[in-house]
């Protein structure tokens, strides 16, 4: 049995309008045999991209607590497949 992979997607305004609104569709882009092990949830703004230094670019997501900046479907897919292959 595969270990569950947790995907958190920031639902803050800045992340939402810069592309985060479509990241919840990641399951549509993954192999069917791993979909059941993916847990996707939206999270409130963590102020990661709005701090004074603005070093992190939105949208922000996390895969098993690893932060992904400038998140896209392709970036998330790549990181998820990495996680699956390392287990």
Q: Give the list of residues 6+ apart from residue 44 with CB closer than 8 angstroms, or none.
A: 10, 11, 12
Residue 83 placed within a domain: no
Residue 49 placed within a domain: yes
Residue 85 placed within a domain: no
- Domain total in the chain: 1
Please report the pLDDT score of residue 1 as a whole number.
53
Residue 86 placed within a domain: no
pTM greater than 0.85? yes
Residue 48 placed within a domain: yes
CA distance 50 to 74: 24
Please report the pLDDT score of residue 84 as a whole number.
84
Q: Do 5 and 27 touch, CB atoms closer than 8 A?
A: no
Determine the structural domain holding residue 18 and report its residue range: 5-77
What's the pLDDT tens digit per position in 34-78? 999 999 999 999 888 776 456 778 999 999 999 999 999 999 999
- For residue 36 the two structure tokens come to 């059941």
Residue 11 placed within a domain: yes
What's the pLDDT tens digit per position in 6-33? 999 999 999 999 999 999 999 999 999 9
Residue 38 placed within a domain: yes
């Amino acid at each position: 049995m595969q270990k569950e992979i947790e995907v958190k997607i920031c639902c803050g305004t800045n992340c939402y309008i810069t592309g985060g609104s479509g990241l919840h569709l990641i399951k549509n882009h993954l192999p069917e045999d791993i979909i059941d092990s993916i847990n996707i949830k939206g999270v409130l703004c963590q102020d990661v991209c709005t701090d004074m230094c603005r070093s992190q670019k939105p949208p922000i997501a996390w895969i098993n607590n690893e932060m992904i900046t400038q998140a896209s479907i392709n970036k998330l897919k790549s990181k998820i497949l990495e996680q699956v292959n390392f287990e």
